[in-house]
């Protein structure tokens, strides 16, 4: 499965995925000065390894890159490296600095056990062969073969047993191997005690004592030096899955079994102290005591990691920190705030996740468990805790969330609806269920099939499988009324209406599958699986209008059911999903069909296919639909076309857009996490959206499967090719190792060279194929917490310019307002920020610096000497007072000379020639003056996009001559003609007029015709004067006169060109103003019309 991006979305991160069924590993800290000085807990999540650091609390520290070899099945670690194995792969990946350093290939089969010895790695494969690898070079050192009858199930390295490992088998035998010599030291035979499969081997703090966990629930402490059994414990009948010994001087042992029970044993008294039955709701896979501290870390298959604290030697363990997510797949979700997602799973729990920080711990906020009665309300009358069915639908409102419950949840095949509070994060105080469903025998099997809540948060509307629609009050939890339709009985031909009788019937004949209430609580829409949609007056529950569902499309039959409703309250558009795969958009105010979207595979829509989710984007432009075939489709409401298709291996069962429209949250069948997809249109400077071609709509079934966020390999890599190349390199290395040590060194150098070349080619390939936006796991440095993955721009990638949809449209630059908005007012901003008082000079220098007093304050000795040498007034025979007077007079003379030099320099600048002025120009001004065509001017303008506000102001002030002003105005006019970067061009024009208004006003009095006539007459006079005075004037005087005349002609020509360019720019500005003014008037009229319609 490849990790790909679609046209609109890119995988961002997964929320609520803490650990998996793979046992975690402990990684000690590199140094005691590390932020997490107690080490790390490494967990494998599909094809990513995440690390939780132990500091003051257990929190997310970092994660590795996405591993493209497959799903991780084994995990081991030391202080510097991590080792992982993959499903159905005969290799071990060595990870260092979050990336794969090398791969170790096992030729006996897929690995099933790993043991890290810091400098070497022990691997047990499926054929029960033991391999020893050097982790620094990747070379195999030793291979120990076992018989087929000895099935290795556990492995441990006994403390103080140099180069030795102890392995346990499924038949109860144990063997002690010497890895250095490859010799079997001792085999512990099967006895009456060891007659069960060994599942755990754990080293105790005492030398020679090993804890052995068996599959029948027994725990044995055995001295392997003397082959003697010390004691036996019984922890239920389930198999022992983990053992841990305290290392802080307290003789305690903790055991865990497959049922999730945690037991604490006193080794001195050899008895059970306490057993925790609620430690985990599933199998516990790993236990570990922090070295020298009373902290225990436990992890289980229930997606939960707990840090336990033992307050005293006899106290019960207390929860210090718990990272947890849903233990069962997520079934429903909604955004309850800008960065908060509320989700519910089949485990009955409701949780809240933070999309930005993950609640700063990687876990979630637990709302509670869906039960009929609160746990604190259990009494003698209600002593049984009854759990509700899994939640399948969530609806919420922000209207009254601070006052009462604001969220309602529908439960699977249940007539009960539970209420919750997102503000308090707790289970509500009401259960909504009408008494008719418990008193009427015909309605005992009724269930809630749809629900909605009003925008004000006061009313909850429930639809049932029997066709009933009930309205409830959220504050009191009381039933208000029922929506009913009337049916008249009697002879319709008779004129006597008094004989007719009216009977109240439920809102629909079939199950109510859709409910929607508008923003003003006026119009209520209900849909049913009998193919009807009904409109009601909400405040006076009377049927308003009825329309048949087949009106949405001629292809739909009357018996097709309405499956889903989703209302966009801001524009009163209702999305209706039908059983045949068609999605219609209905305007509930005009009672008309606005859009019809056929499913991408509606031609061969299967019988069991159904829509599972509908949602509008926050701006109301897109509609996203999901089905149980794994497809997610994005429809554009303006154009009525399909603009994006995504296919996932696990079908999406729920989706929701964030309030800012930057993320799409999805939950999938069989997955315990909430997955976020980044909306690329919100993060890219420019992004084009176009309708998908017709042939893609019919071939959507063959679309590439997109992996879920943070669980897929990077696009553009070929794992199989890399594996084959490394296999060949390792084989060559083995041959070289057999020949001689020199050849092995040479082979290692060649392997490193090949790997370096392969990495460089791979990086180049990624740079060519990767777009401007990447999904990568990088740290968010906030209290040392790092997120699983972060959306970031590629290093070195340039921001693309905003695409222009049509040449006749004005397009903005896409730059942040801070890059151009303050440019016309930069001088006022600097004047405002200027300090009110100048900095005060210190009265005296520090005592350790030698100084000499001066008239104003003081000066350093070296500076005084230099000034005296420069002025030439040094007199060694004068007294100290005379020296002081000489010093002051010298400094005054230096100041006068310095002022004269500045005045001369200013004068030179005012009278610079063209060649000198060319030297004073900036590089950008030189490129501006060298531009001759409009395309060249636009290219020069594009350079301004990369400059800061101060740099733009500097370039504008460097425009000194009239010729430079002409070129700048021509550049703005060329940019206005192409109608791109409109906001930046307007800001530059405003700043240009503020800075050079004096020059523009002084040269704008003469029009172009007068300037041309003046230019012609000036040229004639210069020629006549030069010819008549040729005999009397000297050559030098004649040349000066001609040069002065040419300079005047150039000024006149520049003034003419400046007037022409200003006139051209004025016409373009007037055209833009007329176009935008018409749009503003239209929008104002539409706004006033909408206000009047809702008044």
Give pLDDT tens digits for 120-129.
999 999 999 9
Q: Is the pLDDT of residue 731 over 50?
A: no
Percentages (nearest 5) of helix, strand, coil residues in the chain: 25, 35, 40
Residue 387 is given by DSSP the state B
Alpha-carbon distance of 780 to 789, in angstroms, equals: 9
* 3-class DSSP state of 2: strand
Which residues make beta-bridge pairs with 308? Answer: 296, 319
Give the up-direction half-sphere exposure of residue 710: CA atoms within 13 A in the CB hemisphere.
Answer: 28
Tokens representing 917? 């002025």
Longest dimension (CA), the chain: 141
Confidence of residue 296 (pLDDT cuts 50, 70, 90): very high
Average pLDDT of span 568-597: 86
The confidence score (pLDDT) of residue 1049 equals 67
pLDDT for 1052-1075, tens place per residue? 777 888 888 888 888 888 888 888
**Among 231-240, 299-308, 562-571, 825-834, where is mean pLDDT lowest?**
825-834
Q: Is the pLDDT of residue 119 over 70?
A: yes
Alpha-carbon distance of 632 to 611, in angstroms, equals: 10
Alpha-carbon distance of 508 to 487, in angstroms, equals: 12
3-state secondary structure 547-570: EEHHHHCCCCCCCCCEEEEEEECC
Q: Is the pLDDT of residue 874 over 60?
A: no
The confidence score (pLDDT) of residue 44 equals 92
**What residues have CB less than 8 Å from 886, skipping those under 6 apart?**
868, 873, 874, 875, 878
The confidence score (pLDDT) of residue 865 equals 47
The confidence score (pLDDT) of residue 286 equals 94
The confidence score (pLDDT) of residue 558 equals 42
* Residue 1029 and residue 1038 in contact, taking contact as beta carbons nearer than 8 Å: yes
Confidence of residue 857 (pLDDT cuts 50, 70, 90): low
**Selection from 552, 656, 645 nearest residue 614 by Cα:** 656
pLDDT for 71-115, tens place per residue? 899 999 998 899 999 988 888 999 988 889 899 999 888 999 999
Using the CB atoms, write b or e for 181-195: b if 16+ within 10 Å: eeeeeeebeeeeebe
How does the average pLDDT of the chain come out, rounded?
A: 76
Confidence of residue 918 (pLDDT cuts 50, 70, 90): low
Q: Is the pLDDT of residue 174 over 90?
A: yes
DSSP string, 758-822: HHHHHHHHHHHH--SEEEE-----BTTB--S-EEEEPTTPPPPPPPPS-TTS-------GGGTTT
Positive or negative, the Cα torsion across 230, 235, 240, 246?
negative
Compare 298 and 870 and report the one with higher pLDDT: 298
Alpha-carbon distance of 694 to 682, in angstroms, equals: 27
Average pLDDT of span 226-253: 91
Confidence of residue 616 (pLDDT cuts 50, 70, 90): very high
pLDDT for 33-80, tens place per residue? 667 778 899 999 988 999 998 888 888 888 888 888 888 999 999 988
Where residue 238 falls (left for φ over 0; alpha for ψ -120 to 50; beta otherwise) is beta
Alpha-carbon distance of 847 to 842, in angstroms, equals: 13
Please work out, in degrees rounded to the nearest 5, the angle formed at the alpha carbon of residue 52 by the alpha carbons of 302 and 425: 60
The confidence score (pLDDT) of residue 500 equals 42
Confidence of residue 813 (pLDDT cuts 50, 70, 90): confident
* Residue 480 and residue 432 in contact, taking contact as beta carbons nearer than 8 Å: no
Tokens representing 781? 């440095």
* Residue 61 and residue 52 in contact, taking contact as beta carbons nearer than 8 Å: yes
Average pLDDT of span 1030-1051: 52
The confidence score (pLDDT) of residue 25 equals 94
* Residue 472 and residue 432 in contact, taking contact as beta carbons nearer than 8 Å: yes
Confidence of residue 715 (pLDDT cuts 50, 70, 90): very low
**Backbone φ and ψ of 575, nearest 5°:** -90, 130
Percent of the chain with pLDDT over 90: 26
Alpha-carbon distance of 1041 to 414, in angstroms, equals: 104
pLDDT for 435-455, tens place per residue? 888 888 888 889 999 999 998
Q: Which residue in this structure is represented by tokens 């939780």?
A: 52
* Residue 394 and residue 334 in contact, taking contact as beta carbons nearer than 8 Å: yes
Domains in the chain (CATH in brackets) are 12-145 (2.130.10.10), 362-377+385-486+503-601+610-656 (2.130.10.10), 719-792 (no CATH), 819-832+841-910 (no CATH), 936-1094 (no CATH)
> What is the Cα 887 distance to its own chain's centre?
67
Average pLDDT of span 773-797: 33
């Amino acid at each position: 499965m490849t990790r790909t991006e679609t046209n609109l979305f890119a995988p961002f991160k997964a929320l609520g995925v803490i650990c998996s069924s793979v046992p975690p590993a402990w990684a000690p800290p590199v140094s005691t000065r590390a932020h997490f000085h107690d080490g790390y807990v490494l967990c494998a999540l599909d094809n990513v390894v995440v690390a939780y650091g132990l500091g003051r609390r257990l929190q997310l520290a970092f994660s590795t890159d996405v591993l493209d070899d497959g799903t991780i099945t084994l995990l081991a670690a030391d202080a510097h490296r991590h080792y992982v194995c993959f499903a159905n792969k005969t290799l071990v990946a060595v990870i260092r600095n979050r990336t794969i350093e090398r791969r170790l290939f096992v030729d006996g089969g897929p690995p099933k056990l790993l043991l890290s010895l810091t400098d070497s790695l022990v691997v047990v494969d499926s054929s029960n062969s033991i391999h020893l690898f050097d982790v620094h070079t990747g070379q195999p050192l030793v291979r120990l073969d076992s018989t087929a009858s000895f099935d290795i199930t556990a492995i441990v390295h006994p403390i103080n047993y140099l180069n030795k490992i102890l392995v346990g088998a499924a038949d109860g035998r144990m063997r002690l191997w010497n890895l250095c010599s490859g010799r079997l030291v001792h085999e512990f035979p099967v006895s009456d005690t060891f007659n069960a499969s060994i599942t755990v081997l754990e080293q105790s703090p005492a030398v020679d004592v090993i804890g052995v966990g068996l599959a029948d629930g027994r725990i044995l402490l055995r001295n392997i030096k003397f082959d003697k059994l010390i004691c036996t414990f019984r922890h239920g009948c389930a198999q022992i899955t983990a053992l841990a010994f305290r290392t802080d001087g307290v003789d305690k042992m903790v055991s865990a079994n497959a049922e999730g029970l945690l037991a604490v044993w006193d080794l001195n008294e050899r008895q059970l102290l306490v057993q925790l039955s609620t430690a985990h709701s599933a199998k516990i896979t790993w236990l570990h005591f922090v070295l020298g501290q009373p902290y225990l870390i436990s992890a289980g298959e229930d997606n939960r990691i707990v840090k336990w604290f033992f307050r005293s030697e006899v106290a019960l363990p207390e929860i210090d920190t718990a990272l947890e997510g849903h233990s069962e797949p997520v079934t429903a979700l909604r955004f309850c705030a800008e960065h908060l997602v509320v989700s519910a799973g089949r485990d009955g729990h409701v949780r809240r996740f933070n999309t930005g920080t993950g609640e700063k711990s990687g876990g979630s906020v637990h709302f509670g468990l869906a039960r009929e009665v609160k746990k604190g309300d259990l009494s003698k009358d209600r002593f049984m805790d009854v759990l509700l069915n899994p939640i399948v639908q969530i609806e919420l409102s922000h209207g009254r969330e601070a006052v009462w419950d604001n969220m309602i949840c529908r439960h699977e095949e249940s007539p009960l609806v539970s209420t919750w509070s997102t503000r308090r994060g707790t289970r509500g105080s009401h259960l909504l269920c009408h008494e008719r469903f418990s008193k009427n025998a015909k309605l005992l099997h009724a269930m809630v099939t749809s629900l909605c809540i009003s925008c004000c948060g006061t009313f909850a509307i429930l639809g049932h499988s029997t066709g009933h629609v009930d309205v409830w009050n959220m504050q009191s939890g009381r039933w208000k009324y029922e929506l009913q339709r009337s049916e008249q009985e009697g002879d319709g031909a008779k004129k006597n209406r008094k004989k007719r009788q009216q009977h109240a019937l439920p809102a629909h004949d079939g199950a109510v599958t859709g409910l929607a209430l508008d923003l003003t609580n006026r119009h209520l829409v209900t849909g049913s699986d009998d193919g009807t949609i009904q409109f009601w007056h909400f405040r006076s529950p009377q049927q308003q209008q009825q329309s048949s569902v087949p009106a949405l499309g001629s292809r739909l039959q009357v018996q097709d059911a309405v499956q889903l409703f989703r209302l966009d309250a801001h524009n009163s558009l209702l999305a209706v999903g039908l059983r045949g795969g068609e999605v219609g958009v209905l305007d509930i105010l005009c009672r008309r069909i606005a859009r019809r979207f056929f499913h991408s595979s509606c031609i061969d829509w299967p019988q069991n296919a159904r829509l599972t989710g509908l949602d509008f984007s926050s701006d109301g432009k897109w509609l996203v639909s999901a089905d149980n075939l794994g497809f997610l489709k994005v429809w554009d409401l303006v154009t009525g076309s399909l603009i994006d298709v995504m296919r996932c291996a696990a079908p999406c069962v729920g989706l929701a857009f964030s309030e800012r429209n930057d993320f799409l949250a999805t939950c999938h069948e069989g997955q315990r996490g909430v997955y976020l997809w980044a909306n690329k249109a919100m993060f890219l400077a420019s992004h084009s959206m176009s309708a998908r071609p017709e042939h893609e709509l019919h071939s959507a079934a063959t679309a590439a499967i997109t992996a879920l966020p943070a669980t897929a390999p990077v696009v553009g890599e070929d794992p199989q090719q890399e594996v084959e190349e490394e296999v060949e390199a390792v084989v060559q290395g083995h041959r070289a190792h057999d020949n001689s040590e020199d050849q092995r060194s040479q082979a290692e150098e060649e392997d490193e060279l090949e790997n370096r070349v392969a990495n460089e080619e791979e990086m180049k390939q990624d740079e060519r194929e990767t777009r401007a936006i990447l999904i990568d796991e990088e740290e968010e440095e906030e209290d040392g917490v790092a997120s699983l993955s972060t959306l970031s721009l590629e290093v070195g990638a340039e921001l693309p310019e905003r695409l222009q949809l049509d040449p006749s449209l004005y397009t903005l630059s896409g730059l942040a307002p801070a890059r151009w908005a303050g440019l016309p007012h930069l001088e006022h901003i600097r004047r405002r920020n200027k300090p009110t008082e100048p900095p005060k000079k210190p009265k005296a220098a520090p005592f350790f610096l030698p100084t000499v007093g001066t008239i104003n304050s003081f000066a350093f000795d070296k500076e005084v000497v230099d000034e005296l040498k420069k002025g030439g007034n040094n007199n060694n025979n004068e007294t100290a007072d005379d020296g002081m007077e000489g010093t002051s007079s010298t400094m005054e003379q230096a100041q006068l000379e310095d002022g004269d030099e500045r005045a001369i320099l200013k004068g030179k600048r005012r009278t610079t020639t063209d060649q000198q002025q060319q030297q004073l120009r900036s590089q950008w001004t030189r490129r501006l003056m060298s531009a001759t065509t409009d395309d060249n001017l636009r290219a020069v303008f594009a350079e301004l996009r990369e400059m800061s506000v101060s740099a733009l102001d500097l370039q504008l002030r460097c425009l000194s001559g009239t010729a430079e002003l002409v070129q700048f105005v021509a550049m703005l006019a060329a940019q206005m003609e192409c109608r791109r970067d409109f906001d930046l061009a307007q800001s530059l024009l405003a700043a240009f007029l503020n800075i050079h208004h004096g020059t523009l006003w002084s040269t704008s009095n003469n029009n172009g015709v007068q300037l041309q006539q003046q230019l012609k007459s000036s040229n004639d006079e210069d020629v006549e004067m030069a010819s008549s005075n040729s005999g009397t004037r000297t050559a030098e005087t004649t040349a000066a006169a001609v040069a002065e005349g040419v300079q005047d002609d150039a000024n006149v020509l520049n003034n003419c060109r400046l007037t022409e360019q200003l006139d051209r720019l004025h016409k373009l500005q007037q055209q833009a103003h007329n176009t935008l003014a018409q749009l503003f008037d239209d929008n104002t009229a539409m706004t006033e019309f909408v206000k009047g319609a809702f008044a």
